[in-house]
Structure 1
């Protein structure tokens, strides 16, 4: 039998990866498979996303596609499959393509060589953006309208929400000229937004201004969200911890934590400062039982103009805490979780905090003695969280403060 040859046609466009107005490299991109197929020119690879350049100073097609694919909304996000069906799109990468891959976490974007643009014209730090995609990714607008009533054929895709990561429903919104990130909660309790506020009150007691991102509650339609301002200035980018260590060989004599700190010192940060700031973050995570601290929601900050790493990123994204994923909180197993960094497979939260022994000179345990009552007051603002549940959470927070005090002695 004669085999029939199948010809796959590619729809190629030429993009230039930009860092603000600095061209990094040019490549051919297949609009059908949503990936780079050939790098055609490399110009300023030192301005490429951190971790993309290999030790020989080159960028591979594989690394370029790795970066690009992780720029899209994850397919695991709630309701994203339905959204793509309604928009008649096959991949969340199409959402990123429609807005030049622009983000509010860095200054990278794709310049279409058929119709080249300028950073000053396209960026979302300075220019307004549509709320259409944000409405769709969050699920409800300020009028309380449902997704079913939305006109999907008229969507304006000019928005940083096409590159917004994470599984929780969220969106960027311009509020009185400020870029504000709104995040929804899960389930009947909608506890996560209140958790962010409770965590902020703890961070105020443990940290200096600038070491954490303050959150507040924001009502939009019929639901309450957590809200925070962008942690970056217009000339800054967030480098997640995963990108700090990815691609570098870890010496056998260094633990995961030691390796991360070494990578931070390699790019110019002070190791003692890094350890102290990590100690503050993980001490706070321990008190509120943050089960979702991972290598992509902490890191360092780099200036995109000088390409110098300037500081440790402030603490952000602490909403998955206070046992918000447990329905009843009536058996010991409901309070258990594995702390993710810095051990393969995770570790007990107490073990994680003990990694920072010797770096707790800053801790005044008396300053957080009244914190459990603050948790009670914050969670009590929610009409959806039962008083019995709040009382259980408060009691557990008290226990964790006592344990932290013993570890830090």
Structure 2
């Protein structure tokens, strides 16, 4: 039986007893400082339960839904990806949390993967590549989430995330490049994570640099909304906006409008609650901004078995089970950032990027280009309708003000002359 302390960088959060045979927390021993805890780890009364800690810890590991996960387990002769997280102290490149062994304590500066090198052996396995017969498993890839094969890798001193695709087309790889092209036309540099093509061992992947700066962590939207309590009368969208504003964040509606409008153009099917979020400084505990847009691979109808017949999908994340893309787009009203002229030729640009793919992608190019152009047209109509509706409302408000009788000024003048 082991005893660990959950740490946020150098700050102890909570100590617990852990059974490595069943990969689970068996008892919470001591709470140190919940200010530095993962968002929503404690309940509304400030209590950290064994169940909550286990839920957080299980989400830390490579998910069982990961592509080729059984092949990974078999190759390493382990029964759970939690074993990998245990061996790497739960260290990640998405935040500064880790578990310190109370009987053999270590220091953050000596083990964290932001500053210290790590082996590529485990990353090769999590990306679906072949590794050495005796792989070095010290790596942040032990806590890398998501269903796609992927890995962290050090290139020229930078931490970059390398991702593969799925199926015969591997289209997700090129979709990230299409999304970057779209964002580069419409958004500011800090609004999105730019992806680029990365070649390794004769294969092409998409890749991006780590979005985090010094002392920063990514807090998913799921964790943000889990920390609050939504009334039955409030929609998921309104609750998200209220929660973000409650963190002191500004321009919330506009930032969300940017992400979900671009998702509409790209037909992104996978903007779930853990696929976007906010950035927090782990030392000051200040929420500084919405996270730049990332993870756009599951878009452009790449999962459609018969693309000519399959056009509709359920958009995430709003609503109990999602909603139609058109309905989700109607939630957004802030479009001061949108310049439709910058989209001229984008459907053709997307086609050109996708044409670098294999025959399976090339057979779909006509339909994809046509649907991108259609979605752009629908967005432009929506933006026009929002603008027209706002103009009408402002005019009606002005008319009502002009119709109000002058009262206060007249009374004060009369009183002063008495």
Tell me the TM-score normalized by structure 2: 0.90
**Partner residue, 1:342:** 318
After superposition, the C-alpha distances for 1:94-123 in whole angstroms (9 at most, x for unaligned) are 010010000000000000112111110000
The answer (yes or no) to whether the contact 1:212–1:315 under 8 Å persists in 2 is yes
**Partner residue, 2:407:** none
SS class of match (2:191): coil
The answer (yes or no) to whether the contact 2:39–2:227 under 8 Å persists in 1 is no
Instruction: Pick the aligned partner of 1:390 from 365, 371, 381.
Output: 365
Where do 5+ consecutive residues of structure 2 fail to align? 385-418
**Partner residue, 1:6:** none
SS class of match (2:319): coil
**Partner residue, 1:353:** 329
**Partner residue, 2:281:** 303
Deviation at 1:385, TM superposition (A): 4.2
**Partner residue, 2:162:** 182
More deviation, 39-48/378-387: 378-387
SS class of match (1:335): coil
**Partner residue, 2:392:** none
**Partner residue, 2:263:** 285
Name the structure where helix makes up a greater proportion of residues. Answer: 2
Separation in structure 1 between the aligned mates of residue 28 and residue 306 of structure 2, nearest angstrom: 53
**Partner residue, 1:228:** 208
Separation in structure 2 between the aligned mates of residue 57 and residue 76 of structure 1, nearest angstrom: 32
The answer (yes or no) to whether the contact 1:188–1:384 under 8 Å persists in 2 is no
Separation in structure 1 between the aligned mates of residue 361 and residue 286 of structure 2, nearest angstrom: 48
**Partner residue, 2:135:** 155
Pairing 1:238-249 to 2, within 5 Å after superposition: 238-249=218-229
Separation in structure 1 between the aligned mates of residue 363 and residue 109 of structure 2, nearest angstrom: 53
Separation in structure 2 between the aligned mates of residue 207 and residue 396 of structure 1, nearest angstrom: 21
**Partner residue, 2:302:** 324
Separation in structure 2 between the aligned mates of residue 75 and residue 387 of structure 1, nearest angstrom: 32
The answer (yes or no) to whether the contact 1:78–1:169 under 8 Å persists in 2 is yes
The answer (yes or no) to whether the contact 1:45–1:58 under 8 Å persists in 2 is no
After superposition, the C-alpha distances for 1:339-365 in whole angstroms (9 at most, x for unaligned) are 0111111111011111002x1121111
Where do 5+ consecutive residues of structure 1 fail to align? 1-11, 141-145
Deviation at 1:238, TM superposition (A): 0.4
1:87 aligns with 2:90: no
The answer (yes or no) to whether the contact 2:185–2:342 under 8 Å persists in 1 is yes
Pairing 1:88-167 to 2, within 5 Å after superposition: 88-140=77-129, 146=130, 150-151=132-133, 154-167=134-147
SS class of match (1:68): helix
Deviation at 1:247, TM superposition (A): 4.4
RMSD of Structure 2 on Structure 1 (CA): 1.2
Deviation at 1:57, TM superposition (A): 2.2
1:401 aligns with 2:376: yes
Deviation at 1:383, TM superposition (A): 3.5
1:198 aligns with 2:178: yes
Instruction: Pick the aligned partner of 1:43 from 10, 32, 40.
Output: 32
Separation in structure 2 between the aligned mates of residue 189 and residue 65 of structure 1, nearest angstrom: 37
1:78 aligns with 2:78: no
Structure of larger gyration radius: 2
The answer (yes or no) to whether the contact 1:102–1:160 under 8 Å persists in 2 is yes
Separation in structure 1 between the aligned mates of residue 114 and residue 360 of structure 2, nearest angstrom: 36
Separation in structure 1 between the aligned mates of residue 241 and residue 172 of structure 2, nearest angstrom: 30
1:257 aligns with 2:237: yes
Instruction: Pick the aligned partner of 1:217 from 197, 216, 233.
Output: 197
SS class of match (2:25): strand
Separation in structure 2 between the aligned mates of residue 229 and residue 14 of structure 1, nearest angstrom: 35
**Partner residue, 1:370:** 345
Separation in structure 2 between the aligned mates of residue 213 and residue 176 of structure 1, nearest angstrom: 19
The answer (yes or no) to whether the contact 2:276–2:291 under 8 Å persists in 1 is yes
Separation in structure 2 between the aligned mates of residue 254 and residue 187 of structure 1, nearest angstrom: 39
Deviation at 1:55, TM superposition (A): 2.3
Q: How many equivalent pairs are there?
A: 384
Separation in structure 1 between the aligned mates of residue 21 and residue 252 of structure 2, nearest angstrom: 43
1:18 aligns with 2:7: yes
